[in-house]
A and B are shown apart, each in its own frame.
Chain A
């Protein structure tokens, strides 16, 4: 079974600075997708960024980018120019061929003004 591990329960960053959230996963599949979701306090989960495993190029969405290392099964999220609104729980997720998504335990990001 696929597993997703987020080793950082909490992270903090100063406003306007850059922070990197870590994620590793385990799978025997060759084709799969990886995601980062954001869950603000008491609000619903929203997609931040998505990466196809067959693509070597790292995905980027405005201030959010990933460092995808397929051989190492690592998928980290970099948030540049952090804003107060970035404060949330961030979940790394894996989706395989059958599109069943599995999540890590999450990293709580605090942004300090």
Chain B
């Protein structure tokens, strides 16, 4: 297992276009998280999955954002009608479900630039 993989590493898109990112977590991890990180800031929680169920979504996640995790394996994050404010690093992390305290394993992120 090579850790958490994210694809693509970089994405440049024109405003108004749709983009989709993929995250492949560590295989035995049943929780998967999406975060957004802007320059010089800490990661902001977007949403998370336990297996295939999406259990929580941040209010930051507008209706232009949708995430899926079919079959509880990889996950996709789609942004429709991108805006310049969507430019950020999108981080995926996975962990084992538990009563808290499990550290996350992060991917390298997908850097989105909306022009």
Picked from A32, A44, A99, A103, the residue with its CB within 8 Å of the CB of B102 is: A99
Contact B99 A106 (CB under 8 A): no
Picked from A31, A45, A106, the residue with its CB within 8 Å of the CB of B40 is: A106
Bound complex: CA of A46 vs CA of B109, how far in Å?
Answer: 13
Contact B42 A99 (CB under 8 A): no
**Of residues 1 to 39 in A, which have CB atoms within 8 Å of B's CB atoms?**
4, 6, 9, 31-33, 35, 37
In the complex, what residues of B have CB within 8 A of residue A47's CB?
103-104
Bound complex: CA of A9 vs CA of B41, how far in Å?
Answer: 10
Judged by a CB distance under 8 angstroms, whether A78 is at the interface is no
Bound complex: CA of A103 vs CA of B42, how far in Å?
Answer: 6
Bound complex: CA of A100 vs CA of B45, how far in Å?
Answer: 9
Contact B101 A50 (CB under 8 A): yes
Q: Which residues of A contact B (CB under 8 A)?
A: 4, 6, 9, 31-33, 35, 37, 43-47, 50, 52, 91, 95-106, 108
Q: Which residues of B contact A (CB under 8 A)?
A: 31, 33, 35, 40-45, 48, 56, 91, 93, 95, 97-104, 106-109
